[in-house]
């Protein structure tokens, strides 16, 4: 009976984690470049069951002990592109990432969110202040710039003069990318030496790839499963109490 309680409790824990992931996805539906996360489950463990009677022991098989979260996986499918007309709004076609750097630490991160702006010095930055990287480091937009053109290959021109080229990264193993915040990723894997099939779109933003309908279905399903496991624990607890209180009186 206690095994049943443990199994239900592990199921409740898994559903709580699923609910957290779904809530995070829904909260970032309007975040440019956001990639939805999903949860993969696995059996918590298997218990061998034996029949013991008449001085004999016979194996009956195994019994599952609930489930646990195996991993949280990011869905890197491309989101729809929305035209904004802003020269500093950029989107990527294909499996690539903008490369950015944290000024305080020098840490290199990657993102699909191309809603860039400029800091007081003129450096091209993300909304959180990371500097957008070019092939030769930080990209500086001179003050007083009147026209900014960014080509499909990422070449940045200001008033007709080239000031840099966006450093676009691709990876052999996408699973190596770990989420940092809502739209940033870190990895220990070295980007591929050459990129292919990636195109920069100026004046566009990539929307999040969150599917609201599927997320709502997951949320409702997870809540119902959680409630079922909760009722299972209550029933087994009541049965256990009756066994403890009544067996001794028989």
- Looking at residues 111-140, what average pLDDT do you find? 95
State the chain's mean pLDDT as an integer: 84
pLDDT tens, position by position, 166-203: 999 999 999 899 999 889 999 999 999 999 999 999 99
The answer to whether position 169 is within a domain reads yes
Find residue 124's DSSP bridge partners.
118
User: Residues 137, 197: one domain?
Assistant: yes
pLDDT score recorded for residue 1: 46
Say if residue 124's pLDDT is above 70. Answer: yes
User: Residues 70, 108: one domain?
Assistant: no
pLDDT tens, position by position, 29-77: 999 999 999 887 666 555 555 555 556 666 655 555 556 666 788 999 9
pLDDT score recorded for residue 221: 73
User: Residues 94, 140: one domain?
Assistant: yes
The answer to whether position 250 is within a domain reads no
Q: Which residue has the tokens 């016979």?
A: 58
The answer to whether position 246 is within a domain reads no
The answer to whether position 247 is within a domain reads no
Q: What is the CA radius of gyration of the chain?
A: 26
pLDDT score recorded for residue 77: 94
Say if residue 154's pLDDT is above 70. Answer: yes
User: Residues 152, 45: one domain?
Assistant: no
- Residue in 181, 212, 201 with CA at minimum distance from that of residue 96: 201
Structure tokens that stand for 146 in this block: 């009147």
Range of the domain at 228: 2-75+210-241
pLDDT score recorded for residue 198: 95
The answer to whether position 70 is within a domain reads yes
Number of domains in the chain: 2
What SS3 string covers the chain?
Answer: CHHHHHHHHHHHHHHHHHHHHHHHHHHCCCCCCCCCEEEEEEECCEEEEEEEECCEEEEEEEEECCEEEEEEEECCCCCCEEECCCCCEEEEECCCEEEEECCCCCCEEEECCCECEECCCCEEECCCCCEEEECCEECECCCCCCCEEECCCCEEEECCEEEEEECEECCCCHHHCEEECCCEEECCCCCCCCCCCCEEEECEEECCCCCHHHHHHHHHHHHHHHHHHHHHHHHHHHHHHHHHHHHHHC
Q: Which residue has the tokens 């829904």?
A: 26
pLDDT tens, position by position, 197-212: 999 999 999 999 999 8
The answer to whether position 101 is within a domain reads yes
- Backbone φ and ψ for 141, nearest 5 degrees, come out as -100, 110
User: Residues 202, 233: one domain?
Assistant: no
Determine the Cα–Cα distance for residues 200 and 155; give it in Å rounded to an integer. Answer: 9
Structure tokens that stand for 201 in this block: 């779109």
**More confidently predicted of 12 and 120:** 120
pLDDT score recorded for residue 186: 97
The answer to whether position 175 is within a domain reads yes
Determine the Cα–Cα distance for residues 73 and 70; give it in Å rounded to an integer. Answer: 10
pLDDT score recorded for residue 247: 61
Say if residue 223's pLDDT is above 80. Answer: no
Tell me how far CA of residue 189 lies from CA of 92, 109, 112, in angstroms: 21, 11, 17
């Amino acid at each position: 009976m206690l095994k049943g309680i443990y199994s239900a409790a592990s199921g409740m824990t898994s559903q709580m984690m699923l609910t957290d992931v779904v809530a995070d996805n829904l909260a970032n539906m309007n975040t440019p470049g956001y990639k939805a996360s999903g949860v993969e489950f696995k059996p918590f463990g298997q218990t061998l069951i034996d029949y013991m009677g008449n001085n004999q022991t016979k194996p009956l098989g195994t019994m599952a002990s609930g489930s646990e979260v195996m991993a949280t996986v990011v869905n890197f499918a491309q989101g729809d592109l929305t035209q904004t007309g802003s020269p500093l709004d950029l989107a990527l076609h294909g499996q690539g990432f903008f490369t950015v750097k944290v000024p305080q630490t020098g840490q290199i991160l990657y993102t699909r969110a191309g809603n860039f702006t400029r800091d007081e010095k003129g450096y091209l930055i993300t909304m959180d202040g990371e500097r957008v990287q070019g092939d030769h480091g930080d990209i500086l937009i001179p003050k007083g710039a009147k026209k900014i053109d960014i080509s499909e290959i990422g070449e940045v021109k200001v008033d007709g003069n080239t000031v840099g080229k966006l450093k676009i990264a691709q990876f052999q193993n996408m699973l190596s990318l770990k989420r940092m915040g809502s739209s940033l990723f870190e990895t220990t894997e070295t980007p591929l030496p050459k990129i292919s099939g990636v195109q920069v779109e100026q004046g566009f933003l990539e929307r999040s790839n969150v599917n609201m309908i599927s997320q709502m279905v997951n949320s409702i399903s997870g809540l119902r499963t959680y409630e079922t496991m909760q009722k299972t624990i209550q029933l087994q607890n009541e049965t256990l109490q009756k066994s403890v209180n009544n067996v001794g009186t028989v």
